[in-house]
Amino acid sequence: MNILVQKFGGTSMATAESRQYVLHHILEAKDRGQGVVAVVSAMGRKGAPYATDTLLSLGLESCGQLPPREKDMLLSCGETISAAILAGEITSAGYPARALTGGQAGILTDTQYGSADCLFVDTAQLLSLLKDGIIPVVAGFQGATREGDITTLGRGASDYTAALLAAALKAEGVEIYTDVDGIMTADPRVVADARVLPAISYSEVFQLADQGAAVIHPRAVEAAMRGNIPMVIRNTLTDLPGTRIAAETLYGTEETESIITSITLMKGRSQLTCPASEAGKIEELLSRLADRGISIDLINIFPEKVVFTIEASNLASASVLCGELNLVPSVWEACTKVSCVGHRMRGVPGVMARIAMALRKADIPILQTADSHMTISCLVPAEDGPRAVEVLHRAFSLG
């Protein structure tokens, strides 16, 4: 069977009006003869009654910290509500549909509550529904353990659910419907003249997602790439073609003239600088941070100092560890990491120099840098983050 997985994000599911567009995309594919599996996020964003953040604050208000298993059970409700409502609406439109939780859709996970890993997808139930012409509407973001306990797959992971199901079902494709026209040269909320990219490679979009671009979850890109499933990012409210995510070799060259494809930012970083004379203590600090599951993002080791970056939410724990070791680092609390991604910069000299010059001309200090074959990242003071993206977007003529 020709199967298409379609995922609808929070803003797409938010209102009865926006769900009319959701219905339009599902029924159009169904009428074309495709077996459609819909995957849904919780309705609306922060502040909406059934949004994930609202459920989270409900747990916090009632008893501070919920146990991880109960927290996942609570957070999963948003998607379950969404699935039930949409399945009802599809049925009312005259097409048979069935709402499923992640577990009922066959997503078996480990017991790492909060960011569970999928161990296996049992497609039997989905295939049986599809065979009978029924549209499965799957609650995204969740799975279940062997014991039947509900787990969640990490924030924003409904995209991951969609890609996982598409790969397991050997679908023709997976469509991610959201509130922008596709993957853009930058977040349009940060850069007003950001442009939609007609196509982008799996590896570039993975880098963007991994470096903070919320438009798609990195695990979704990974799952689609592993299953070799073509992925498209589209706007729910339009019929525009969106961005096609394909293997690098399938690229149209005219579409990606600039050496940089897209720029993203990651807020909430903190930078610590320790004098290298304390080398033994620094090594001990790094190993204690690792023991607590605190990962180091950027790190540079110089003869006179060691500089590294962690998530700002881990700064308090890191400070306690420093205190235990009598280590007094200088701290830059509020930083943002700005990352330029582009497969064309591989092996091309001078890109970092152009980035450094553009930021210097805009009086934006670079606190730290890192580069890999297709990504260059610069840490800047948090207040300069959005402007740094704008400046680089202009310097590389991405608009």
242 binds ligand ADP (CB under 6 A): no
10 binds ligand ADP (CB under 6 A): yes
Residue 241: CB minimum distance to ligand ADP, A: 15
Site residues for ligand ADP, 246-265, by CB under 6 A, read 262, 264
The C-alpha atoms of residue 194 and residue 357 are separated, in whole angstroms, by 21
The C-alpha atoms of residue 150 and residue 144 are separated, in whole angstroms, by 4
183: partner contacted, choices Mg ion, ligand ADP, none (Cβ within 5-8 A by kind): ligand ADP
Do residues 339 and 375 lie in contact, with contact meaning Cβ atoms separated by under 8 Å? yes
Residue 206: Cβ within 10 Å count: 22
Do residues 319 and 238 lie in contact, with contact meaning Cβ atoms separated by under 8 Å? no
| CA 40 from centroid of its chain's CA atoms | 15
Q: Cβ closer to ligand ADP: 129 or 265?
A: 265
Q: Cβ closer to ligand ADP: 208 or 272?
A: 208
Site residues for ligand ADP, 155-174, by CB under 6 A, read 156
Do residues 335 and 379 lie in contact, with contact meaning Cβ atoms separated by under 8 Å? yes
- Cα dihedral sign for 139, 224, 338, 271? positive
- Residue 192's contacts (CB-CB under 8 Å, 6 or more residues apart) are none
271 binds ligand ADP (CB under 6 A): no
Residue 5: CB minimum distance to ligand ADP, A: 15
Beta-strand ranges (E) seen in 110-248 are: 118-121, 135-139, 142-144, 150-152, 173-178, 199-201, 231-235, 243-246
Q: Cβ closer to ligand ADP: 44 or 329?
A: 44
Pick from 34, 41, 82, 152: which binds ligand ADP (CB under 6 A)? 41
264: partner contacted, choices ligand ADP, Mg ion, none (Cβ within 5-8 A by kind): ligand ADP
9 binds ligand ADP (CB under 6 A): yes
Pick from 46, 146, 170, 189: which binds ligand ADP (CB under 6 A)? 189
- Residue 62's contacts (CB-CB under 8 Å, 6 or more residues apart) are none
Query: What's the chain's Rg over C-alpha atoms?
Result: 22
The C-alpha atoms of residue 399 and residue 395 are separated, in whole angstroms, by 10
Pick from 107, 163, 215, 389: which binds ligand ADP (CB under 6 A)? 215
Residue 114: CB minimum distance to ligand ADP, A: 18
Instruction: Count residues binding ligand ADP (CB under 6 A).
Output: 19
Q: Which stretch binds ligand ADP (CB under 6 A): 6-14, 102-110, 141-149, 270-278?
A: 6-14
Do residues 99 and 137 lie in contact, with contact meaning Cβ atoms separated by under 8 Å? yes
Q: Is 25 helix (H, G, I), strand (E, B) or coil?
A: helix
Tokens of 264: 């993203």
179: partner contacted, choices ligand ADP, Mg ion, none (Cβ within 5-8 A by kind): ligand ADP
Q: Which stretch binds ligand ADP (CB under 6 A): 51-59, 210-218, 314-322, 339-347?
A: 210-218
Q: Cβ closer to Mg ion: 177 or 332?
A: 177
Tokens of 34: 């495709």
310 binds ligand ADP (CB under 6 A): no
Phi–psi pair at 139, nearest 5 degrees: -70, 120
Binding site for Mg ion (CB under 5 A): 156
Do residues 336 and 187 lie in contact, with contact meaning Cβ atoms separated by under 8 Å? no
Pick from 149, 172, 179, 284: which binds ligand ADP (CB under 6 A)? 179
Q: Cβ closer to Mg ion: 158 or 271?
A: 158
Binding site for ligand ADP (CB under 6 A): 9-11, 41, 156, 178-180, 183-184, 186-187, 189, 208, 213-215, 262, 264
